[in-house]
């Protein structure tokens, strides 16, 4: 799919001053943007299949991105959480601010979410806690028509690109010493349909069902949509990499995370996205050939590619190269 980046001049104009002219923005101007609705056909189909499969599930494991522990959890999924025992797995703990964990736990408890595990599924950190906790939750809850079954059937749910498939693969590595059972990708929409059951543990016998990421049919507000997009839950081109990069810069400055200065060679922190992306483009060699019409004919010139720089700025954040951030 072709990546689209809108004009950066408008974003730069809205960016506010550089730090040398008196501080950073205290609010982000989203302009007249509406909260995008992104609910493709495979999401609607996946949600229907999930609801139909609920009857066979002993427990729901909801996976969410620790960058946004409070934002973007799908209210459509929340509707079904009261039906079965529920465990919230906040993944990508290696990329989020560890100082925020106690505050996050308290806020989630106030929302009625009392069973939470922080994980890094790429390195299997804390993943071993999940099966014993699931077993405890299931054994202390009524299983109705599944009361005679000795195996546990767990449904894994969440918005796109939060690490559901990575969690399943991590559990298989830890408990079965086996490799990937489900595809993993950094783009939303890798898992397109509710899959068959995947064994992740022998004792107790545990099967997980991976499900497609499902976004809310209508996002609560523009900022929630922007946070989801920064975390890769919405395709970049639907929001615009220019505005996403600008919002990311706003958050970095608000949280005094100035690692981008050293990474891209800026002499000081800046609140002007075009200024920052110029340094990104120069540092990474992001240029493009542009044909210029002159009085003597066409001339090819090399210019900085701000679109490619914005894309690389977002990639650096997602890989944790700009510091450990919690967006909420």
The pLDDT tens digits of the residues spanning 49-72 come to 777 777 778 888 999 999 999 887
State the Cα–Cα distance between residues 184 and 180, nearest whole angstrom.
9
The answer on pLDDT for 18 being more than 80 is no
Instruction: Dig out the tokens for 216 from the structure.
Output: 């809310």
In degrees and rounded to multiples of 5, residue 175 shows phi and psi of: -100, -30
What is the full DSSP assignment across 27-75?
S---TTPPPPP---HHHHHHHHHHHHHGGG-SEEEEEEETTSSSS---H
pLDDT given at position 7: 33
pLDDT given at position 68: 93
Where residue 297 falls among pLDDT bands split at 50, 70, 90?
Answer: confident
pLDDT given at position 183: 44
pLDDT given at position 196: 66
Q: Which residue has the higher pLDDT, 179 or 41?
A: 179
What is the full DSSP assignment across 216-241?
-SS-S-HHHHHHHHHTTSS-HHHH-H
pLDDT given at position 17: 41
Say whether 170 counts as a known binding-site residue.
no
Where residue 16 falls among pLDDT bands split at 50, 70, 90?
Answer: very low
To the nearest whole percent, how much of the chain has pLDDT over 90? 37
Average pLDDT over the chain reads: 80
pLDDT given at position 210: 78
Q: Which residue has the higher pLDDT, 111 or 220?
A: 111
The mean per-residue pLDDT over the stretch 119-125 comes to 86
Q: Which residue has the higher pLDDT, 55 or 163?
A: 163
Give the neighbor-by-neighbor strand order of the sheet with 198-201: 116-118, 86-91, 59-65, 152-157, 206-209, 198-201
Where residue 253 falls among pLDDT bands split at 50, 70, 90?
Answer: very high
pLDDT per residue as tens digits for the range 170-225: 888 888 877 655 544 455 444 444 556 788 888 888 888 877 777 766 677 889 88
pLDDT given at position 13: 38
Say whether 131 counts as a known binding-site residue.
no
The mean per-residue pLDDT over the stretch 279-287 comes to 94
Positions of CATH 3.40.50.300 in the chain: 36-210
pLDDT given at position 75: 65
CATH number assigned to the domain covering 222-319? 1.10.1580.10
Say whether 161 counts as a known binding-site residue.
yes
The mean per-residue pLDDT over the stretch 298-305 comes to 86
pLDDT given at position 55: 74
Q: Among 13-17, 93-97, 204-208, 231-235, whose mean pLDDT is lowest? A: 13-17
The mean per-residue pLDDT over the stretch 298-320 comes to 92
Say whether 163 counts as a known binding-site residue.
yes
Positions of CATH 1.10.1580.10 in the chain: 222-319
Say whether 253 counts as a known binding-site residue.
no
Say whether 94 counts as a known binding-site residue.
yes
The answer on pLDDT for 35 being more than 70 is no
- 11 burial (CB, 10 Å; 0-12 / 13-18 / 19+) is buried
The mean per-residue pLDDT over the stretch 262-273 comes to 95
CA distances from 209 to 212, 254, 320 (A): 10, 39, 29
> Which superfamily, per CATH, for 36-210?
P-loop containing nucleotide triphosphate hydrolases (3.40.50.300)
pLDDT given at position 11: 39
Say whether 164 counts as a known binding-site residue.
yes
Asked whether 94 and 122 are in contact (CB, 8 A), the reply is: yes
To the nearest whole percent, how much of the chain has pLDDT over 70? 77
Element at 105 (helix H, strand E): helix 101-110
Global pTM value: 0.81
């Amino acid at each position: 799919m072709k990546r689209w980046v809108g004009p950066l001049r408008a974003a730069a104009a809205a960016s506010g001053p550089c730090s040398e002219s008196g501080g950073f923005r205290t609010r982000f101007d989203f302009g007249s943007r509406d909260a995008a609705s992104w609910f493709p056909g495979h999401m609607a189909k996946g949600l229907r299949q999930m609801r139909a499969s609920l009857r066979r599930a002993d427990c729901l494991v909801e996976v969410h991105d620790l960058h946004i522990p409070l934002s973007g959890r799908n209210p459509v999924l929340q509707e079904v959480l009261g039906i079965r025992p529920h465990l919230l797995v906040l993944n990508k703990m290696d990329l989020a601010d560890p100082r925020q964990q106690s505050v996050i736990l308290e806020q989630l408890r106030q929302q009625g979410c009392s069973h939470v595990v922080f994980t890094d599924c790429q390195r299997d950190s804390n993943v071993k806690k999940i099966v014993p906790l699931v077993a405890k939750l299931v054994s202390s809850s009524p299983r109705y028509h599944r009361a005679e079954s000795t195996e546990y059937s767990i449904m894994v749910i969440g918005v796109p690109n939060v690490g559901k498939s990575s969690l399943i693969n991590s559990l298989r590595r830890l408990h079965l010493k086996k490799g990937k059972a489900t595809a993993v990708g950094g783009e939303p929409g890798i898992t397109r349909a509710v899959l068959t059951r995947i064994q992740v543990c022998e004792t107790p016998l545990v099967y997980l069902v991976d499900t497609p990421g499902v976004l809310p049919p209508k996002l609560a507000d523009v900022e929630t949509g922007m946070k989801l997009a920064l975390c890769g839950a919405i395709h970049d081109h639907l929001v615009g990499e220019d505005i996403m990069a600008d919002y990311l810069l706003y958050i970095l400055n608000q949280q005094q995370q100035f690692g981008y200065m050293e990474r891209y060679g800026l002499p000081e922190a800046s609140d002007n996205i075009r200024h920052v992306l110029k340094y990104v483009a120069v540092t990474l060699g992001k240029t493009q050939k542009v044909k210029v019409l002159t009085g003597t004919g066409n001339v090819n010139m090399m210019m900085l590619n701000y679109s490619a720089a914005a894309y690389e700025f977002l990639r650096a954040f997602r890989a944790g190269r700009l510091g450990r951030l919690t967006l909420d």
